[in-house]
Structures are given as structure tokens and as C-alpha cells.
Amino acid sequence: MTAWNNNTVFDFPSEIYYFKDENNASIWTFNTSINPSPNYYYIRHGFGYSNFQNSYDNFIQTVDVFVPNEENVKVLDFRIKNMINEDRKLKLVVYMKPVLGEDEYFSNGNIKLEKKENVILIKNVFASEDFKDKMMYISSNEPIVSFTGDKTEFFGDGNIEEPDALYKQLSGDSGLGKDSCIGFEIDLEMPKFGDKKFSILIGQENSFEKIQEIIQKYQKEYDVEVKLENVKSKWNNILSTIQVKTPSESINIMMNGWLVYQTIVSRIFARSGYHQSGGAFGFRDQLQDCFGIKYIDSSFLKEQILNCSRHQFMEGDVLHWWHLETKRGIRTKFSDDMLWLVYGVLEYIDVTNSEEILDEQVPYIKGELLKEDELEKYDIFYESEVKENIFEHCIRSIEHVISKGIDPFPKIGVGDWNDGFSNLGSKGKGQSIWLGFFFYDILNRFIPICERKNRKDLVEKYTKLKEELKKNLNTKAWDGRWYKRAINDDGYEIGSMSSEECRIDCIAQSWAVISNAADNDKKFISLEEAENYLVDRENKLIKLFEPPFENASFNPGYIKSYPAGIRENGGQYTHGSVWLIIAETLLGFGDKAVEFAELINPIEHSKTKEEAKKFKLEPYVMEADIYTNKDLLGRGGWNWYTGSSSWYYKAIIEYILGLKIKNGYLSVEPCIAKSWKEYEIKYKYKTSIYHIVVKNQNGKNTGIDKFIVNGNEIPDKKIALCDDGRIYNIQIFM
């Protein structure tokens, strides 16, 4: 609806709220970067809302911004208090830059405004077929006195700090054919020592009747307050599903709300963030987002499994990303996307203790195969007439990887998990060693399902393939001290001791352990080398690989377009850091796992003013990456829209604190720092509560001696999950 501008230097907003005191002509904005008052602005971000407060010119102004649980509308709930014994008039003028399309430059001049009752309706008259019936609207429970769709009229001879709109009534110009904007005015009578409460609604609907229906729900201040409380209540219920108390306060803060909130609102609901505004579903992306919150609500994962299955071709490959609204997406030669579907199904079956999802019938999509020299194709892809169950969808994913050839490792195509390796296998010959470990893990976990489905042919085929893959990974992929990363079309090895750049790669070493494909001695050796080369304790980061690409004689792909040490090109890419933490726990190194978990925690990068200035990101939001470039060392790249929030949550809950929900049972397998003497987990399972206290008086990293439930020791050290409304007090002694 409004413009997206990810420029942190200019930070030009697409919404500006101007105030003018008509008694003394004082002017200020509620935006801190345009014409701010000289007093402090107080800003608080909560779960589901943000609160802004400022005092100036003897007015105290507060606004709560939130999106209700039920309606497609953004609510700005204002409260303004006149602090003096004098009747006053206050003028509020609002400026917005509309888009109503993909790009404000393309839709500029095509935007038409009209006022109907107390609602401003905004349409893109040349919108694409997919959006021609949609309209944006703005309303308030205070009268909108005037409006304009003409940016030139709004600013006139003034500027962004003091537009002409503050000194005149706006004409009601529709703005069609002109430089587009949305400008409107609300006049407020402010009695002495009086309060004024009102709301502004910004939303999108398909009909004026639906808009009227929504607006009626926000006419009274009480209605708005109830809606906000409902939002807070909803998030409290979601985020209180699991609460932890550990000796690490920074871990507690992130785990008790912020990671789950970030994952759900940014990754799953919005699929957008300040640094990346997209809205598309990524095949591997949103699946991974659901892995960390499977304990919170497994329905997120189920919904995403079905959604992804509907975007798979009969040939087994999938859309790399797509927009649900338009059916447009991109078919590519990425090598790993389709395997994340299988991984997601395995995760879902574990946490729900049900294989019913395997029998769900889901259609494929159809489209022309990519030609030999065609790396990707963006198009509309429609649903086919062919439906198969999820089990068959998984088989097609696995068979697609096999069909490309495994000699001795799976083909990398135009990239594996690392999209930046877009040129290693563009000719169809390059191979991914990381994908070999990932594929081994999937085969290993999927074979038991094939057995239960009585598919002896697949059991035999996949078992043989798995064993051959393991042998090749531990011989041809082993480089003496660590595992190589990939081989390009021309046979050049990446991630090898002989490599000039990208000599050692983090995720190959981590997944060698996670998959359990690595020989026992090689697990310990490769992880130790990863720590030696990639963990930077001084700057609190873990590199994706070392050294970055700068002068390589070959072109690895678009990864090289990043400067050295930026994002995937040798910076900390936090997915990889989290996978290293998981690998440490699987080898029993609890001290390192906890140390590394704190190392990459954004709070630990923001404890002092100097650290915060260096990091430059919100301290309560998981970062996607941290730069290792010498000129930007320690600076965070972006946050909010990153799947590392889900993986970090999963790493702490499942691997460090050791909460395991599998086959209908709850168990705890800690891998913690020896210095941790005790920690707690409160887990709500439907109507029951499991309160777990883990005591570590003997200073261990792993292993439990006693598992006591409501005073009774359980020899099996696990308990069946029950939806019976009871409280289960579990004491665990390490």
C-alpha cells in the first residue's frame, strides 16, 4: 500500500504525521526524523503492537500502532492531552506515499483518490488484472476535513519539514495523472486540560461495503482498546507455550517471546522485513521457519507442507518462490529446495506422533521443463489434474535428486542452500558435498517410513544409496582435516586445503555431524578445525567460510558480487552459525554450544552504547548476518526477515536445553555448560502443563541420572504426553 524504502541513511518515511498548534503556529512531527520536537520520543515495541510517545508545546501525544486479529487494517490509536488551562486548536496533517503495485515509480500518476462519507478510497486505475478490484482506504472516527492526491499541492512552496498543507485546506484533487500522494487533514478541538482520543485506520479491501463493515467496529475508543487487548492476549497465549529460565539472561530474553514472535510475524505472516520486502513464499524458507515453532503450534508446519506440495512439479522439482495471489513463481535448477519438503514431513511426524499427513492428497503444478541452457523461468504455473499423497510427493523429491546423478555427490545445479553458489553447477556437472550430507540425513530418516509403507523396493534402493554416499563423503570429500564444500563444473574443488579462497566452509563440517554421516574421528577433527578458522570470539561472530572470494580464477556465482566478508561471502551467515552450535551439542560439547549461542545472540552485541553503534541492529531481533569485512567488522547486515530466528530457537530448545517431543513422548537430553547448575522449562501441551526443572549439581555437559514425575522416578526417562488438564512437575538430575 505504501512505499518501501530500505535506506537507513536517509530513512525517508512513507507516512508522516504533522502537528500544528493553530494558537501559536508551532509545528512538529510525530516522526523522529522529519521535523522532530526538541523533546525525547519514547518508543516501546511489544508483541503485536508499538507505542510512541512525545511531549511538546504543552501537549502529550501517544499512539498505539497495531493490526487487529481479524481485520486487514492498521490501526493508529491516538491519545493527545492538553496540559494547560487554555482552549486550543490542533491541526493534524498526514502525508503518505502510495504504491498499490510493485513499484511506486511505475504506479505514480495512476493513483486516484475519492472521498466517500468519512473514508478516502485509493485505487490504482491501471492495476494489473490480479489487483484491479482491490482498493486501499483511510478512515477515522474524527472527521476528515480535507484531502488531496496531488503531491505538488500538498507540499507547494514548502518542504518536507513544513509543507503548504499545514496552512491551507486541501482541494480534494483525485491526483490522477499527477505526482501521487495521499494527504489529508483532521482538525482537533483541545479543551483546557482535556484529552482527545481518536483513531486512524489504514486498510485494504475489495468493496466499500466491507470497508464500512470494518469501520463500524472502530467508532468508539472502547472498541479500539478491546481490539488492542485482544491482540496482546493472543500473543501472550502463543508466546507463553514455552517459557525457559536459564543462567543466561540474554538467552532467556530471546527465547521467551522475541524469537517466536519474529518468526511468526515476519517470516510466516508478512514474509517481509525492513531490509527485504517481498511477500513471496520461499519453498525452503517458510518450511524451515516452521521447524523452530513446531512445539508452539505444529499446524504452521502442516500448512506449509501442504502449501509447498501444491507448488511441486510432477518431475519432482519445485518453485523456488511464488506469490499465492498471482500464481506466479520461479522454476529453477536449485538442488536442495525439494528435499526440504521431505525434511519438513519428517519433523512434523516426529512432533505430532502421526503419519496421517502422508496420506493427504495434494495436486502438482504443471509447466514446461527448463531447457538445458535455461537456469530459471518466472511465469504463471497452474494446478495440474494429477493428485498424489504427500508420501509420493516426498518420493518425487528424492527421485529428482537421484535423477540428476550422484557421482559421487549430488549435483549442485544453480545453488544448494547457499544461493550465492549460482555458477558452480550451471552446466549440470558441479556437485555439492554439503548436499551429500543433507541428502544422507533425509534418506536415513525416510527409510523407516518406507518400511512402514511396505515399500521394500525403496528401502533397498535408498539403503544402498545411503551407504554408498557415506563411503564417498568420508573418502572423496575428506581433505585430511575437514570436509570439502563443493566441486564446480570444471572439477575445481571448493572448501579444500588447496583452495585459495573458501578454504574451509562451516556448513559442510556442521552437517557432517548433524547427519551422522561422518566417521567418528572425522567429526571431531573437522569441527575442531571449523572452530579454529571460523569462530571469532573477540568480535562475537562465526564465519560462514574463510577466506572470502575476492580474486578467484573462477566465477562461483553471485556470491562474489558481495564484497569480501559481506553476507554469504565469508561473513557470519547466522544459519551456518546455528548449525555449528547444533553440531557441538551432538558431540557433547555443551560449554562450546552455550558459548557460541551467546556469541551470536544480538543482545550480546548491544550491551554497551559502543557495541550498539557497531552492530546497528535492534538487539531483540535475530540477525541474518554479521559482516567480517575489515571496514565493517561486527556490523549486522539485516534482521527480522531471516530463517535463522527459527533455527536458533530450535537449537536452544531441542539441542541445548534438550526438550524432545517424539512419537508421543516427552524427554529431556541436555547439552549445557558445566557451569549451569539449574534451568527450567515450562511447556504447555494443549490443556496440560509440563514444568521441568533440570538440576546439574555435578557440573556435567550431558547425560541424566534421574527422571522424576510428580514424585515418581521414571526408569525410561520419558513421559507420554497427555491432554488431560493436569500439571506435571518433572525433576531431572544430571
C-alpha span between 305 and 90 (Å, rounded): 53
Going by C-alpha positions, the residue among 159, 40, 144, 154 that lies closest to residue 98 is 154
pLDDT level of residue 128 (50, 70, 90 thresholds): confident
Cell of 52: 510512541
C-alpha span between 341 and 344 (Å, rounded): 5
**HEC-encoded secondary structure of 669-706:** CCECCCCCCEEEEEEEECCEEEEEEEECCCCCCECCCE
Give 312's DSSP letter. B
Strand pairing report for 688-695 and 727-733: parallel
Cell of 136: 486501499
DSSP per-residue codes, 513-582: HHTT-S-HHHHHHHHHHHHHHHEETTTTEE-SEESPPSS-SS---GGGGSPTTBTTBTSEEHHHHHHHHH
Domain with CATH 1.50.10.10 in the chain: 240-656
Q: Would the pLDDT of 396 be above 90?
A: yes
In tens, the pLDDT along 270-292 reads: 999 988 888 999 999 999 999 99
pLDDT level of residue 337 (50, 70, 90 thresholds): very high
pLDDT level of residue 325 (50, 70, 90 thresholds): confident
Q: Would the pLDDT of 10 be above 80?
A: no
Contact residues for 622 (Cβ-Cβ < 8 A; gap 6+)? 254, 258, 259, 262, 574, 602, 639, 642, 644, 645, 648
Give 427's DSSP letter. T
* Residue 575 Cα to chain centre, angstroms: 12
Q: Specify the amino acid at residue 525.
A: I
pLDDT level of residue 132 (50, 70, 90 thresholds): confident
Domain with CATH 2.60.420.10 in the chain: 660-733
Which residue has cell 509447466?
A: 367
C-alpha span between 154 and 150 (Å, rounded): 6
Give the architecture-level CATH label for domain 660-733. Sandwich (2.60)
In tens, the pLDDT along 409-424 reads: 999 999 999 999 999 9
Half-sphere exposure of 690 (CA within 13 A, CB side): 28
Domain with CATH 2.70.98.40 in the chain: 15-218
* Residue percentage of the chain with pLDDT more than 90: 92
Q: Specify the amino acid at residue 732.
A: I
In tens, the pLDDT along 369-379 reads: 999 999 999 99
5, containing H or E segment: none
pTM of the model: 0.96
C-alpha span between 17 and 156 (Å, rounded): 17
In tens, the pLDDT along 349-362 reads: 999 999 999 999 99
Half-sphere exposure of 432 (CA within 13 A, CB side): 33
Cell of 554: 573462477
Q: Would the pLDDT of 130 be above 90?
A: no
Contact criterion met (CB below 8 Å) for 619 and 603? yes
DSSP per-residue codes, 516-535: T-S-HHHHHHHHHHHHHHHE
CB atoms within 10 A of CB 602: 23
pLDDT (0 to 100) of residue 684: 97
**HEC-encoded secondary structure of 136-176:** EEEEECCCCCEEEEEHHHHHCCCCCCCCHHHHCCCCCCCCC
Q: Which fold has domain 15-218?
A: Beta-galactosidase; Chain A, domain 5 (2.70.98)
C-alpha span between 334 and 418 (Å, rounded): 10
Q: Would the pLDDT of 85 be above 80?
A: yes
SS3 431: strand
Which residue has cell 496420506?
A: 359
C-alpha span between 372 and 600 (Å, rounded): 42
pLDDT level of residue 6 (50, 70, 90 thresholds): confident
C-alpha span between 491 and 488 (Å, rounded): 5
Which residue has cell 575445481?
A: 492
Contact residues for 610 (Cβ-Cβ < 8 A; gap 6+)? none
pLDDT level of residue 225 (50, 70, 90 thresholds): very high
Give 368's DSSP letter. P
Which residue has cell 563444473?
A: 489
Give the architecture-level CATH label for domain 240-656. Alpha/alpha barrel (1.50)
Strand pairing report for 712-713 and 659-662: unpaired
Q: Specify the amino acid at residue 127.
A: A
Contact residues for 663 (Cβ-Cβ < 8 A; gap 6+)? 350, 353
Going by C-alpha positions, the residue among 475, 494, 492, 474 that lies closest to residue 484 is 494
Cis peptide leading into 363, omega within 30 of 0?
Answer: no
Strand partners, 683: 242, 690
First to last CA, the chain: 55
Contact criterion met (CB below 8 Å) for 672 and 592? no
Lowest mean pLDDT among 307-311, 323-327, 663-667: 323-327
